[in-house]
């Protein structure tokens, strides 16, 4: 940023965004300002340099407003960035993104602090800019991205740069300076409010506490941390141990944390990761990497990856065996990302005369309505990575907790049953289906596995990793809850939350 007294934050680690699934909200209308009260005001506030903290706060506030209105944060940020001037630098873009993600992780406490200091809610943009500024101020000095003076000064400049909000300069200044004067007592008082303390909606806190009475606090705390950048090594080209040495030769610190998993000590843009563009590695959480190995694919098998976007698990399956794979996705835009991943890995479909042994074919269709796309040839293996709450990956996608509603879980559970019921009929006798969610709610995990086993007489439940709760680098053994003897990530693997259940057709 332009102020010499500030320290520039790094953007959040590259992370895979979950599919747009049942229960999620749509993005902003085309042509509207996300989160804008009117949707018609100009994108750029006057008198704010694009590389200033004030500009970053202003733009992050619009993204936060869009999330409050129901948009996913990546979509909100994309809308913000699309309307920015051509000279908006990657560094400035990273600042906007960093502030927006910080605010999502601290939304409970910053909203609490605002309500304690303002009796009548100001216009939405004023509230959201205050939220973004407070999200930078609640961190202690050791973790602060900017000095308090810089945050207050730039927040006041930002709110004064728009005609429609300039009246609130005094209010913003008073709220932020008042918080700084009472910082310790204000933060201490906030601990008595569970939403402010944990930064989750109350229903979410209650659900986690009921489901995991011994681990609920650790789960919530882990969800407020930053997920690492974990790579999956393409074993067709190299192995994890050799790749770690390759990184070391380029002065990039990394650790092998699984058979194919390598965790970088510090996140890097994908274009700076050695071998990424050539398909030597992919970005994939250590817990997500268990899907392909649990499915136990072998050469010559016909495999379906249902709900496949963005194609990470499909790519891993193709790396492990010479298979004929169909990657199914209902959303055409998201399906295009699967094709891009296949092309980078070298698994895109070719002409018949030069087709490789391993191909990935992308098909657009609803997994729950096979008649519209199924060609009648049954599958040896089916990966059912079904739509879910994404409650296991909130540290990478902190907006999810604020987008979900308590009644979404029951609706998602019904959608999951609709899909796996339809997919089961496509499986060969002796074939296997792997049910996967990136959820930590039992209604989307173990309860579904038991329902499926009880309602399908020809289904035999096999070993699988079971429920994996989110685990940080310092996780103890209680954090991983595998329901079988199958291998789970290393205790220090730093993985997200997933559920796995595997069934064989008699």
Catalytic residues: 438
Q: Give the span between the Cα atoms of 445 and 466, in whole angstroms.
A: 8
In angstroms, the CA 170 to CA 158 distance is 12
**Structure tokens of 343?**
């092309």
Alpha-carbon distance 362 to 315, whole Å?
A: 12
Helix and strand element counts for the chain (H, E)? 18, 12
Interhelix angle 408-424/446-455, nearest 10 degrees: 40
Residue 391 CA: distances (Å) to CA of 253, 451, 469, 470, 495: 30, 21, 10, 10, 13
What would the two tokens of residue 457 be? 């007489």
Q: In what order do the strands lie in the sheet with 459-468?
A: 359-364, 324-329, 302-306, 379-385, 427-437, 498-505, 459-468, 480-482
CA distance 394 to 369: 30
Of 424, 415, 421, the residue nearest 388 (C-alpha): 415
């Amino acid at each position: 940023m332009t102020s010499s007294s500030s320290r520039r934050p790094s953007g959040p680690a590259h992370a895979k965004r979950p599919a747009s699934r049942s229960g999620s909200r749509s993005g902003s209308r085309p042509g509207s300002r996300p989160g804008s009260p009117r949707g018609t005001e100009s994108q750029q506030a006057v008198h704010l340099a694009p590389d200033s903290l004030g500009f970053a706060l202003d733009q992050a506030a619009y993204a936060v407003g869009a999330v409050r209105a129901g948009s996913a944060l990546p979509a909100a940020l994309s809308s913000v960035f699309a309307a920015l001037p051509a000279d908006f630098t990657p560094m400035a873009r990273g600042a906007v993104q960093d502030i927006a993600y910080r605010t999502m992780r601290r939304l409970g406490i910053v909203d609490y602090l605002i309500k304690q200091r303002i009796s009548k809610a100001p216009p939405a943009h004023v509230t959201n800019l205050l939220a973004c500024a407070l999200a930078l101020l609640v961190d202690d000095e050791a973790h602060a991205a900017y000095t308090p003076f810089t945050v207050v000064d730039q927040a006041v400049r930002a709110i004064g740069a728009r005609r429609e909000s300039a009246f609130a300069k005094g209010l913003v200044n008073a709220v932020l300076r008042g918080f700084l004067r009472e910082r310790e007592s204000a933060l201490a008082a906030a601990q008595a409010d569970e939403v402010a303390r944990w930064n989750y909606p109350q229903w979410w806190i209650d659900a986690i506490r009921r489901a995991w009475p011994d681990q609920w606090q650790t789960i919530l705390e882990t969800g407020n941390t930053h997920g690492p950048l974990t790579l999956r090594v393409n074993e067709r080209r190299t192995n994890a141990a050799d790749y770690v040495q390759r990184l070391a030769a380029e002065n990039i610190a990394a650790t092998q944390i699984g058979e194919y998993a390598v965790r970088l000590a510090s996140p890097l843009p994908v274009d700076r990761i050695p071998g990424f563009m050539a398909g030597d590695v992919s970005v994939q959480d250590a817990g997500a990497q268990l899907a392909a190995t649990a499915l136990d694919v072998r050469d010559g098998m016909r495999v379906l990856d249902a709900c496949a976007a963005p194609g990470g698990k499909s790519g891993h399956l193709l790396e492990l065996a010479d298979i004929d794979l169909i990657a199914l996705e209902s959303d055409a835009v998201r399906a295009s990302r699967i094709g891009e991943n296949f092309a980078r890995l070298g698994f895109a479909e070719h002409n018949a005369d030069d087709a490789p042994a391993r191909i990935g074919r992308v098909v657009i269709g609803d997994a729950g309505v096979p008649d519209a796309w199924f060609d009648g040839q049954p599958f040896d293996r089916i990966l059912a990575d079904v739509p879910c709450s994404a409650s296991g990956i909130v540290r990478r996608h902190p907006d999810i907790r604020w987008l979900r509603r308590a009644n979404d879980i029951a609706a998602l559970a019904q959608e999951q049953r609709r899909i796996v019921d339809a997919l089961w009929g496509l499986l060969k006798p002796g074939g296997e289906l792997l049910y996967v969610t990136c959820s930590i709610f039992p209604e989307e995990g173990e309860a579904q596995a038991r329902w499926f086993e009880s309602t399908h007489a020809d289904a035999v439940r096999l070993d699988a990793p079971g429920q994996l709760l989110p685990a940080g680098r310092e996780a103890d053994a209680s954090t991983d809850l595998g329901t079988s003897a199958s291998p789970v990530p290393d205790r220090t693997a730093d993985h997200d939350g997933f559920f796995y259940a595997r069934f064989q057709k008699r």
